């Protein structure tokens, strides 16, 4: 792996022909300290063989899309992966065998945390449900708000995404719930309420509610509401474009290239870990 700070980090993008992949390719090609060295796609993708830069409209970059079935065909220090849980975990296994670092922004990978921890004994891994710098700052603010407000408030989490998003609540909303629950010494699995309907009775203050919206082209909105007697505090993050997440992931890639094996998240990348 790259260790000298004055040497560009060779980064590879998998899922490079997708919406997020194209954004990552475009940003990586113009980010100081990074060099786009490989671009991967599924083996049956029609874009295989095309220059990755042409897919973004940025012009040829001299990096052609190749099959991600065998990552050893590409040269890279860090792989950036926004694909699907099964694909991401297969890429983790390949990176472990190749002794390469990997940044994972795939929703749902947290279900395989034990496997991530096992692989992280040998390689550096950054996994986060949301790569946005602003969202990760919000995680820290939520922890502080929960500690200060304590059990004197009701906590509700409202999230909205585009109509094509297939999971609900979002991984980011769930992580926000986990942060608040931990600060309040609660178990989210026991206190979460996912939607309400009918005669539900009075609200239990110990619960943490989730509400989900799927509509249009909303990139990603998250609000955590702390409602008490006579006042409420709202912490909100709104993502306006996918470049927000791509920028954070590439920042993580630069940071990760200098780290020893271990499982990290964006709190580590941004120096927000208490």
Catalytic positions, written as ranges = 161, 165
Report the side by side order of strands in the sheet with 208-214: 192-194, 208-214, 154-161, 220-227, 232-239
What string of DSSP letters covers 118-183? HHTTTSEEEE-S---HHHHHHHHHHHHHHHHHGGGSEEEEEEEE-TT--SSS-HHHHHHHHHHHHH
**Closest C-alpha to 88, from 242, 249, 248:** 249
Compute the radius of gyration of the chain from its Cα atoms.
20
For the stretch 158-168, what's the b/e string if a residue is b when 16 or more beta carbons lie within 10 angstroms of its beta carbon?
bbbbeeeeeeb
């Amino acid at each position: 792996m790259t260790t000298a700070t004055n040497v560009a980090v060779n980064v590879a993008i998998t899922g490079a022909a997708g919406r997020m992949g194209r954004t990552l390719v475009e940003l990586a090609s113009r980010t100081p300290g990074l060099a786009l060295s490989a671009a991967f796609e599924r083996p049956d993708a029609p874009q295989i063989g095309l220059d990755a830069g042409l897919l973004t409209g940025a012009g040829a970059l001299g990096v052609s899309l190749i099959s991600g079935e065998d990552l050893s065909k590409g040269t890279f220090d860090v792989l950036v992966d926004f694909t699907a849980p099964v694909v991401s975990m297969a890429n983790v296994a390949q990176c472990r065998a190749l002794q390469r670092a990997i940044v994972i922004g795939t929703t749902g990978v947290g279900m395989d945390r034990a496997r991530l921890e096992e692989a992280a004994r040998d390689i550096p891994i950054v996994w986060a449900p949301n790569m946005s710098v602003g969202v990760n700052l919000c995680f820290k603010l939520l922890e502080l708000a929960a500690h200060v407000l304590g059990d004197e408030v009701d906590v509700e989490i409202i999230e909205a995404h585009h109509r094509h998003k297939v999971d609900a609540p979002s991984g980011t909303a769930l992580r926000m719930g986990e942060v608040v629950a931990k600060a309040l010494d609660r178990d989210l699995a026991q206190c979460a309420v996912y939607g309400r309907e009918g005669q539900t009775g009075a609200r239990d203050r110990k619960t943490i509610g989730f509400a989900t919206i799927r509509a249009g082209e909303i990139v990603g909105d998250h609000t955590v509401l702390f409602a008490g007697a006579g006042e409420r505090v709202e912490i909100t993050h709104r993502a306006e474009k996918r470049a927000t997440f791509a920028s954070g992931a590439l920042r993580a890639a630069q940071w990760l290239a200098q780290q020893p094996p271990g499982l990290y998240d964006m709190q580590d990348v941004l120096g927000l870990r208490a």
